[in-house]
Structure 1
Amino acid sequence: MSEKIEVGVIGLGKFGLELAINLRKLGHNATGVDTSEERVKAAKPYLSHVFQADGTDRQTLEQLSFQDFNYVVVSTGDSMEASILVVLNLQEMGVNKIWVKAISEAHKKVLSKIGVDFVVFPEHFAAKQLAHKLSTPGMIEYLSMGHDILIKERTVTEWAGQTLIDLNLTNNYQVQVIAIRKNGSEELNFVPKANETLEHDDVLILIGTRENLLALP
């Protein structure tokens, strides 16, 4: 397992709470803050520490040692003003890594201008992922990496009897096979051997741009 990290989460709405829960599942510590008594109560079974407090108040954050966390995630609901105020307080406190949930393109632009380390726009990302999934048969995942990078599965039919070396997909189509699920198996074989012969109905897991994946014969 990777080194355990300490993460502060300001705002325990759907996004903030789900993030904190998943951090805990991965073995990390998450401390949450929210002004809502109901949200704090809902978060208590899942978080290392949770407090009903005003995340926009710098003194409160200092008392809760937010300046000592490896990361602080800001997810203050629909208030762009509150989000920016929290970020400015965290920066003045010397917090090293600040990740923020944006609620609009304008919010995202402002956060980038004031030097936020990472800005996530969940609704935008989810909508883009769904659009790709609808328009790209077999797509498993959309990755936001500066380009439209997709992970797509493809069943072996006409490629049966060939190896990955024979297909040379990286040079011919600029896509990469990252895993193979053998015919009839539920398990994925990651980093498959390039000289292994493919069988009919094997499933290849490919990564590449949407354009290159759709260009495969």
Structure 2
Amino acid sequence: MSRQFAILGLGYFGSTVARELKRHQNQVLGVDRDETRVDALSDMLDHAVIADLTDENALKELSLEAYDAVVIDVDDDLETSVICTLHVKELGAKEIWAKAHSDAHYKLLKRLGADRVIYPEYDVGVRVAESLNYHAMVDFIRLGERQFIVELVTTQRLVDNCASVANLSIDRDALFLVAIKRGQEVIRNPADDTPLQPDDSLILMGDLQALREIGRQI
């Protein structure tokens, strides 16, 4: 079933979100004060509107409270971002996702009531650092302050040292092997006697320190 989303700000980030949501057959409204940006997406989106994102009356006419979520991306304009987020919150949006450009901006958006704050530079920086430090890491998802889901690719060294799941040095109290991805196959909750192969993707969930320990083995 399709959902309805409003994207306020059609810069690179906002337009990418809009395109992907539309690709998944959702109904998408795109709004920007830049006519060129709106025109570029007008044929793709369900509705594309030119409007000042700091104008409360203009935002009110969009009936943002009817959308499942509102995404706010106003380039690097802190003032516009803050004013727009404040108006959208006051207009009764069900869920607000807003893009931040600095630590202070992040904290401010949270205080203004944004449900989710995306901080791409920080998030990507953390991912790059973790991937450089643990070269086998493919991806990770933060679940909380110390809890993560991590995807690690097995190396020949690990397979030589650990022929099966049972031989992995996993702290079972702190870490859980959710699945093994092997090509197109997904082995869910793998048994201890499941053999390991080079280039398997291990999907692990648990404490950050325990995940780092397994990362060092690979």
Q: Report the AA paired with residue 171 of structure 1.
A: R
Deviation at 1:115, TM superposition (A): 2.0
Deviations 1:125-147 (A, max 9, x none): 11111111111111111323333
Deviations 1:176-209 (A, max 9, x none): 242231xxxx313141541553154361423243
- Which residue number in structure 2 is paired with residue 18 of structure 1? 16
Deviation at 1:34, TM superposition (A): 0.4
- Which residue number in structure 2 is paired with residue 191 of structure 1? 188
- Which residue number in structure 1 is paired with residue 39 of structure 2? 41
Paired-residue identity, %: 27
Give the conservation status (yes or no) of the 8 Å contact 1:153–1:203.
yes
- CA distance in 2 between partners of 1:172 and 1:50 (Å): 51
- Which residue number in structure 1 is paired with residue 139 of structure 2? 141
1:19-168 pair list within 5 angstroms = 19-145=17-143, 146-147=145-146, 149=148, 150-155=150-155, 156-160=159-163, 162=164, 164=165, 167=168
Give the conservation status (yes or no) of the 8 Å contact 1:175–1:212.
no
- Which residue number in structure 1 is paired with residue 214 of structure 2? 213
Deviations 1:77-120 (A, max 9, x none): 11111111111111221112111101111111111122221111
Partner of 1:157, secondary structure, is helix
- CA distance in 2 between partners of 1:158 and 1:166 (Å): 8
Q: 1:119 to 1:202 in 2, by over 3 A?
A: closer
- CA distance in 2 between partners of 1:109 and 1:159 (Å): 44
- CA distance in 1 between partners of 2:181 and 2:154 (Å): 10
Give the conservation status (yes or no) of the 8 Å contact 2:64–2:92.
no
Computed over aligned residues only, the root mean square deviation of the Cα atoms, in angstroms, reads 2.4
- Unpaired runs of 5+ residues, structure 1, are none
- CA distance in 1 between partners of 2:181 and 2:140 (Å): 19
Q: 1:199 to 1:211 in 2, by over 3 A?
A: closer
TM-score in terms of structure 1 length: 0.85
- CA distance in 2 between partners of 1:192 and 1:148 (Å): 19
TM-score in terms of structure 2 length: 0.84
Deviation at 1:52, TM superposition (A): 1.4
Deviation at 1:73, TM superposition (A): 0.8
Q: Report the AA paired with residue 71 of structure 1.
A: A
Partner of 1:103, secondary structure, is coil
- Which residue number in structure 2 is paired with residue 203 of structure 1? 200
Which runs of structure 1 show a deviation greater than 6 angstroms over 4 or more consecutive aligned residues? none
- Which residue number in structure 2 is paired with residue 171 of structure 1? 172
- CA distance in 2 between partners of 1:123 and 1:166 (Å): 38
Q: Report the AA paired with residue 87 of structure 1.
A: T
Deviation at 1:27, TM superposition (A): 2.2
Give the conservation status (yes or no) of the 8 Å contact 2:153–2:202.
yes
Q: 1:202 to 1:38 in 2, by over 3 A?
A: closer
Q: Report the AA paired with residue 177 of structure 2.
A: Q
Q: 1:192 to 1:144 in 2, by over 3 A?
A: closer
- CA distance in 2 between partners of 1:78 and 1:169 (Å): 44
Query: How many equivalent residue pairs?
Result: 209
